Amino acid sequence: MTRPTLLLGQTFVAHGNPLLNPWQDAVQIDSAGAVLIEDGLIRAVGNRDLLRRAHPQAAVQDYGDHLICPGFVDAHVHYPQTAIIASWGKRLIDWLNTYTFPEEVRLADPAYAAEIAARHLDLALDHGTTTLCSYTTIHAHSVDAFFEAAAARRMRTVAGKTCMDRNAPEGLRDTAQSAYDDSKRLLERWHGQGRAGYAITPRFSPTSTPDQLSALGALWRAYPDCLMQTHLSEQPDEIAWVRDLFPDARDYLDTYEAHGLIGARAVFGHAIHLEPREIDRIAESGAALVHCPTSNTFIGSGLMDAAGLAARRITLGLATDTGGGSSFSMLRTMAAAYEIAQLRSTSLHPAQLLWLATAGSARSLHLHDHIGTLAPGYEADLTILDLASTSAIAQRTAGAADIWEALFPTIMMGDDRAIADVWIAGEKRRRKHTT
Ligand code: GUN
Ligand code: ZN
């Protein structure tokens, strides 16, 4: 038994889904809140005076007016693209060929893969992200590099070997059989190991033959506890290419569905230009969609209908999609989600944005019983937000009428300077590159 720690501050507490219920009923901020943590878990969440009296032996960390949130959950990243983030001037397919694939070839070197995995996770932590779900490269060691770096930081993560057996350059192609064998070996090694979870990962239909998609569908049937992640309907040119490559498919989703790659544990990134049949099928299957708003504007992909899809009771996660996304910050990502919703004539409330970045993303990864919510029994992954981290934000917060108005400028203008502290499994992480 370790000595418990009592964190004092304002607390972001969610009881339900604020995209489906009135946000006032689903989410609250307690201005006199406290979180008791012990042995890596949250033991109690409540009023600071009551919890202080009930736990006089606890070490106290007083965060004043800072907001104690569940750690941010980034539901779709490509850690191998860390070093090419913010590369200029291309749309999806050209961007992949010009910037992404040449960089992913470099991860053939295990030492480079380890360096980039560590760099990505440290950048994520600096930005308040405590869990992420990552693509890797076709190299099996790129999966080991990621999970080893995450284990060194005690982070809960999901990842899988990115599989591609066509339309990718020399050195970045596997085969249907090797994708199956490598993915199987890796998921047996990592799934459920410590805080790691495995996602079977065909990159997207254009880079997998039907044989490879079938093989990965068979693997998922054999290991149904794993997630399956891929990309869906990101750009019109990509969708037209999929139509050419799969002339018998009813639509893009059908290229996965025909090979057993749909189900409640499927996680589809982007999903912007969906046909009505695809939306119906996704809703019926229980699959999750991940909104990647900074990527969708940066690569010029389009405006996802997040509110409309949520209203269909489809689970939504939120993600940076680094390095197609232009920021490691889930604050910046929430801001982009807000801006895209505005362009679609919907205003996402800060309660909805923060919920999406925490509990919503956790749900999309089927981790919602472990992380993403401040409640007893949850793992103590926490992000502490300074709501006055820059002079521009502070002057706005100072005049705020209520806590939501005080939080919104940090969502819209905040960055890593707003991250006062990060706690991983009940331990405080020193800011900036500790391992
Ligand atoms: N579609 C297939 N691969 C990728 C990728 O690496 N990034 C994005 N944004 N879309 C993709
Ligand atoms: Zn992606």
Distance 77 CA to ligand 2 centre (A): 6
Instruction: With respect to residue 435, please indicate whether it lies within any of the assigned structural domains.
Output: no
Q: Give me 160's structure tokens.
A: 């899988």
- Residues of the chain above pLDDT 90, percent: 98
Q: Going by C-beta distance under 8 Å and a sequence separation of 6 or more, which residues neighbour residue 349?
A: 18, 23, 404
pLDDT tens-digit readout, 258-271: 999 999 999 999 99
Q: Where are the alpha helices (DSSP H) in 191-329?
A: 210-222, 236-245, 252-257, 276-285, 293-298, 306-311
Do both 66 and 85 map to the same domain? no
Give the whole-angstrom CA distance, residue 300 versus residue 91.
6
Q: Residue 114 is part of a domain; what is its CATH number?
A: 3.20.20.140
Name residue 50's amino acid: L
Counting beta carbons within 10 angstroms of the beta carbon of residue 168, is it exposed (0 to 12), middle (13 to 18) or buried (19 or more)? buried
As a whole number, mean pLDDT of residues 307-311 equals 97
pLDDT tens-digit readout, 49-106: 999 999 999 999 999 999 999 999 999 999 999 999 999 999 999 999 999 999 999 9
Distance 324 CA to ligand 1 centre (A): 7
Closest approach atom of ligand 1 to CA 207: 2
Name the closest ligand to CA 325: 1
Give the whole-angstrom CA distance, residue 311 versus residue 19.
7
Is cis: bond before 323, omega within 30 of 0? yes
Closest approach atom of ligand 1 to CA 231: 1
Do both 129 and 219 map to the same domain? yes
Whether residue 256 has pLDDT greater than 70:
yes
Do both 215 and 99 map to the same domain? yes
Q: Residue 401 is part of a domain; what is its CATH number?
A: 2.30.40.10
Three-state secondary structure call for residue 361: helix
Strands 41-47 and 27-38 turn out to be: antiparallel
**Protein residue with its CA nearest to atom 8 in ligand 1:** 324
pLDDT at position 40 is: 98
Do both 121 and 46 map to the same domain? no
Do both 54 and 118 map to the same domain? no
Question: Does the model's pTM come out above 0.95?
Answer: yes
pLDDT at position 356 is: 98
Instruction: With respect to residue 327, please indicate whether it lies within any of the assigned structural domains.
Output: yes
What average pLDDT is seen over the chain? 97
Spatial contact of 78 and 95, defined as CB atoms under 8 Å apart:
no
pLDDT at position 434 is: 40
- Count of CA atoms in the C-beta half-sphere (13 A) of 232: 31
Based on the structure, what is the number of domains in the chain?
2
Whether residue 435 has pLDDT greater than 50:
no
Nearest alpha-carbon partner for 179 in 146, 148, 142, 139: 139
**Protein residue with its CA nearest to atom 1 in ligand 1:** 231
Name the closest ligand to CA 301: 1
- Which of 79, 92, 101, 242 maximizes ligand 1 atoms within 8 Å of its Cβ, making it the mutation to test the pocket? 92
Angle at 62 between CA 58 and CA 66, to 5 degrees: 135
As a whole number, mean pLDDT of residues 370-378 equals 98
Do both 349 and 392 map to the same domain? no
Do both 226 and 269 map to the same domain? yes
Closest approach atom of ligand 1 to CA 238: 1
Distance 113 CA to ligand 1 centre (A): 19
Distance 252 CA to ligand 1 centre (A): 15
Ligand 1 pocket by Cβ (under 6 Å)? 78, 92, 96, 100, 203-204, 231, 234, 295, 299, 321, 324
Domain that holds residue 155: 72-364
The sign of the torsion formed by the CA atoms of 194, 192, 190, 122 equals: negative
Considering 329, 347, 364, which residue would you say is the last residue of a domain? 364
Distance 331 CA to ligand 1 centre (A): 21
Distance 220 CA to ligand 1 centre (A): 21
Distance 23 CA to ligand 2 centre (A): 29
pLDDT tens-digit readout, 190-202: 999 999 999 999 9
Closest approach atom of ligand 1 to CA 81: 6
Considering 346, 364, 382, which residue would you say is the last residue of a domain? 364
Instruction: With respect to residue 130, please indicate whether it lies within any of the assigned structural domains.
Output: yes
pLDDT at position 433 is: 43
- Which of 100, 166, 298, 304 maximizes ligand 1 atoms within 8 Å of its Cβ, making it the mutation to test the pocket? 100
Backbone angles phi, psi at 145, to 5 degrees: -60, -45
Closest approach atom of ligand 1 to CA 135: 6
Do both 358 and 382 map to the same domain? no
Instruction: With respect to residue 434, please indicate whether it lies within any of the assigned structural domains.
Output: no
Confidence bin at 2 (pLDDT 50/70/90): confident
Distance 204 CA to ligand 1 centre (A): 8
pLDDT tens-digit readout, 125-183: 999 999 999 999 999 999 999 999 999 999 999 999 999 999 999 999 999 999 999 99
Do both 54 and 97 map to the same domain? no
Do both 63 and 110 map to the same domain? no
Confidence bin at 357 (pLDDT 50/70/90): very high
Q: Give the environment of ion ligand 2: residues with CB less than 5 A.
A: 269, 321
